[in-house]
Each structure stands twice: as structure tokens, then as C-alpha cells.
Amino acid sequence: MQADYVIVGAGSAGCAMAFRLAEAGRSVLVIEHGGTDWGPFIQMPAALSYPMNMARYDWGFSSEPEPHLGGRRLVTPRGKVVGGSSSINGMVYVRGHARDFDHWAESGAEGWSYADVLPYFRRMEHWHDGGHGGDPAWRGSDGPLHVTRGPRRNPLHHAFVEAGRQAGYGVTPDYNGARQEGFGPMEQTVWKGVRWSAANAYLKPALKRENCGLVRAFARRVVIEQGRAVGVEVERGGAVEVIGAGREVILAASSINSPKLLMLSGIGPAAHLAEHGIEAVADRPGVGANLQDHLEVYAQFAAKRPITLYRYWNLLGKAAIGAQWLFTKTGLGASNQFESAAFIRSRAGVEYPDVQYHFLPIAVRYDGRAAAAGHGFQAHVGPMRSPSRGAVTLRSADPAEAPRIVFNYMSTEQDWIDFRACIRLTREIFAQPAMAEHVRFEIQPGPGVQSDDEIDGFIREHAESAYHPCGTCRMGRRDDAGAVVDPECRVIGVDGLRVADSSIFPRITNGNLNGPSIMTGEKAADHILGRQPPARANDRPWLHPDWESRQR
């Protein structure tokens, strides 16, 4: 088993690289431990709570007891299936804010500013505005990744946006265009009623080429000889073998598994590797560090009128939606139901949005448990740029053992200040006339939660991960001791080895991470192929003209 390029992980970035490298005529093998993505639980958008909670499709990671969240262990789903986490995620499509990428470049990821990455977002997208307006000039029209908008037939979607307008916020027709800040329609990676994962967009077309293959195996470590990566040691069918890489090994195994594989291969903090009897090939203290995520709470409200999706929250209703989707790929099953969104700033002096809303016309948890109040709706809300940093470390030198994950959520005072602001701003929005006519009462946090201490207690007990882990193989300058890869995604200190997935993000981006992860795969492919990057974009993204003095 040998190819020019061996990619570990058939996730968002891995599929994009496989497609671009195969398209360029290189031979590619993609190693994926998970199985097929065939089946309605993955392909039907509205069924999104199922695959995330199925051991068959998920690595089953969870954090260590989080010290600032009352010792709770938070689940950390990562896709163990063709398509990776793009096959089990909520299908929400967000590029990130322009300033996120400018910050990457300023912190040492040269060539990754917004002007540099915008051409890749355009290249990967096939955008459909669905008649809701938007910014066609900012979007791509013929890429592999279909991006659509839900039908927004439920009146609550419009009420949420109108309430934001009444509260004094702007409205944006396209948060992935010139202007992220404001309230407006949410976008999803759904096409013709089907989840448009990285597997559907990139890997399946790539596998039609003779020079691209998929290997079902468990990657144990990267094989390094004389300072160069020459292959990947895998286990399949009970036997251990090596898959050889003629040119390069590329890790795209997630922000949890990529640093784990590097450490098992002798690349990481030398003292930590020594604790587990692993000889250091490259002492890189940044491997596994810089772990970031988005944390959120669900602000839930009981509805005055029975217009929410709760009316389908029974066996009969779900069966009817499932049947309609199965035969026609239409109806409620064809959307993730996240059809309205907002990005706002928590206070004056914040340059660009630091709070995100997902609006959902039902009060339900990610694990599929509906709120006891019956008819209701909710907004997922949380800060975008937490200063807290955690780490992924080895539990042992046994590749079969899951790593230790400590997010260290809410470890700074700023985290608490930002989260309190989220809850108070949310209540203000839902008190506006457009939303007040639908609100019967607040389910959670609940009217009894008002003071800072009460809000803090609610956060400690109820904050959940938005499942956006990243940052554990940070990209930076080659002379930066904390960087793991250089701006061309090459692992510093080892030849023939790259990492390209959300683990290389220097700082977490605004919103959901599937879009930036696919973009990372697209851009990394050009670096791997030694291609000139596309011309930098000159588009000027919108920033609030009075951001220094006004919150909205």
C-alpha cells in the first residue's frame, strides 16, 4: 500500500485535499477508521441529533472534569465516519469574520489573512441564495460545496430577526458576505434536501478517479525515518501494517486526533512524551496546547401559540417527516431547522461580533430531549473568542486509548463577563414586541435567575460545548517555539509531514468551524502542490463605523 500522499482522516479538510490532489494527477490514499455515511440518520438534515449520539459514527470523546464548570465532563463528539464531523454536525455554514483571518496573519500565519483566504472560500462554494437576497459578488458559484438557506416558513424565524431590528441591531442579508454583524437568514450545507458533507462534496467525486483510494483502518502513528515522514502505521483486520507515502503524510484527523498522532509519533513536548516512554523526534511544546472551543447556553422560551416544531415531536410526526424526506427529499426533514441567526457585539469597544445566535423554533437539546413545557423555541448563544485555553495530552503510549482533553472552560474573569452579557442581551431581544407576542414565559435560565451570581450558577450547570474544538497544532512562524506547523502547514522539525485541519487555527473563528476547516483543506492542497496562490481579494468587509463608542 503506497501513494504519493497519504491523508489521515476523511473529514472536512481531508476530503477537500483528497479531491484537489487527485484532480492534479497525484496518487492519494485516505485513511479513515470510521465506516460508511450511507443511511438516513446522516443524510437527512433534520435527523442531526442522531448521528452525533451514535457510537457507530462518533469517537465518543469527553473532557476531563472541567474545574470551572462544577467538575462536569462535557461530551466532545468527533465524526468517526466517512466525511468526519461534517457527517454528524449541525450543517451550519459560517465562513468566520474577516478579522478572524487577519488576526491569524498578524499572529504569524502569513498568507492567511482574509484577503488571502476569501478566494478559497469562493472556490469551494456553490452558493444558492434561495431568493432571500445576499451578496453574490462575495460568494462562489461553481465550487463542490453547495450552500443553501432553509425555507424559513415558520413565522418565528422572521420574528427573531425583527426583534433584533427592534432592539436596535442591524439586519444583514448575508453574514457570509460583506457584513457578518446583524440578524438574518442562516446558511446550511444542504443540497436537494440532503446533508452536503465533505464526503458528498469532495471525497465521493475524488474516489471515482483511479488515483484516489480509501483505506478503512485505524492510524496508530506516523512512521519517521531520518527526520522524514515515510508512511503511516495502521491497524486493520487485527494486523498492523505500514502504508507508505512517496511524497508526504498529511494529518487531517481533527483537533483531538491530529495532536494525539503527532505525540505518538514523537512530535510534541519532549518531557510529556518521556513520561510515556516515547522518544522525541521533534520537541514541539505547542502540540496539544492552545485548545479552544465555543461554549453556549440555550435560552428557552415557552410559546403562546402551537406554531413550533413541537407538534411533530412524537412518533407519528417524526415518521411522517421521515417518510416524506425518504421519498421526495423535501419537507421538514430537508432542513437542519437552524434558519435564522445573528452575530452581535457584546459591548462598545469590541471591533467585530463576539456573540453568535442560532435560532431554533423548538425547545430541545442536542441529545434530542425536548423541554418539558411542550411548545417552545430557543436561541443558542455564547461568546465567540474566549480567552481560556486547554490542552490535549496523551493518557498513555497506547494508540487505542483516548487522549486526555481539558478545555479549561470559563477559566478567566472575562469569560464570565462575556457570558453574563450574552444572557442579558438575549432577554432584551426576546422582550421586543416581535418576539414578546410569541413568548408565554422563560423556561431557562428562568425568571429566578437575575443576579450575576445566579447567572454564573446557571452557566456552571448548563453551558454546553458547541462542538468547535480547534487550535491544538497551531500555525505560526518557523521560529515561534509554540507553533507546530508553518504557514504552508508543514510540521516544523520533520520533513514530509503536514497537518491541515481545524487544529492549525491560531485562534477560533466566529461561528461554526466546518467552513473554515474545508477552506483549510483547499488552501493546504495548493501549498502541497507548490502552486501559486490565487490573487488576493480587494473586497472591503463591513465593520460598524462606531464600534468604539456603540454596542449596536
The answer to whether 263 is a known ligand-binding residue is no
Q: How far is the C-alpha of 166 from the C-alpha of 394, rounded, in Å?
A: 50
Q: Is there a binding annotation on residue 91?
A: yes
Residues 117, 154 contacting (CB under 8 angstroms):
no
The β-bridge relationship of strands 391-393 and 404-406 is antiparallel
Q: What angle do CA 381, 379, 181 make, to 5 degrees?
A: 60
C-alpha dihedral, 419 to 420 to 421 to 422, nearest 10°: 50
Q: What's the Cα-to-Cα distance from 454 to each of 218, 301, 422, 457, 460, rounded to whole Å?
A: 46, 18, 14, 5, 10
Please state, in angstroms and rounded to a whole number, the distance separating the CA atoms of residues 232 and 220. Answer: 7
- Pull the grid cell for residue 126: 456553490
90 assigned ligand-binding residue: yes
- Give the number of C-alpha atoms closer than 13 A to the C-alpha of residue 194, restricted to the C-beta side: 16
Residue 75 assigned as binding residue:
no
Residue 358 designated active-site: no
Cα–Cα distances (Å) from 188 to 126, 149, 170, 301, in that order, read 12, 6, 22, 24
β pairing state of 145-149 and 187-188: antiparallel
Per the CB < 8 A criterion, the answer to whether 463 and 297 are in contact is: yes
AA identity, residue 530: G
Count of positions (residues) in the chain:
552
Dist. CA 258–CA 469, nearest whole Å: 12
Tell me: is residue 482 an annotated ligand-binding position.
Answer: no
Whole-number Å distance between alpha carbons of 204 and 18: 10
Assigned C-alpha cell, 156 = 418565528
Contacts of 359 (CB under 8 A, 6+ apart): 156, 157, 160, 186, 338, 339, 340, 341, 342, 377, 378, 379
CB 153 within 8 A of CB 331: no
| 462, 468, 527, 544: the active-site residue | 468
User: Which residue shows C-alpha cell 487485527?
Assistant: 238
The enclosing H or E element of 79 equals none
Q: List residues forming the annotated binding site for FAD.
A: 81, 89-92
Q: List residues forming the annotated binding site.
A: 81, 89-92
Residues with catalytic annotation?
468
